[in-house]
Amino acid sequence: QWHYGTGKIWGTVEDASNNPLVRRVILYEYHSMLPVKECISNATTGYYEFNRLDTTTFFSVIAEDPLDYRYNDIIRSKIRAV
């Protein structure tokens, strides 16, 4: 139900120096933490995008760091699609 709508969530994945990163990006429904969609951020720009989302639902976006476990995942939480 959360992935049927007109909303969109997008962003970029970057390191602390604003360099773009390739990451697996997972969209979760905020309250249940159930995965809704996933994608890979663009290698050149770090850009990711999720389309056709319900605009009344809160989501969390997690960009995983699969290669270097010294760093935390990048998380945006309690966001809505626009």
pLDDT digits (tens, 9 = 90+) for 35-63: 999 999 999 999 999 999 999 999 999 99
Instruction: Provide the pLDDT confidence category of residue 74 given band limits of 50, 70 and 90.
Output: confident
Taking alpha carbons only, the member of 81, 27, 28, 79 closest to residue 55 is 81
**Dist CA 41 CA 62 (whole Å):** 11
Taking alpha carbons only, the member of 5, 29, 9 closest to residue 82 is 9
Amino acid identity of 24?
R
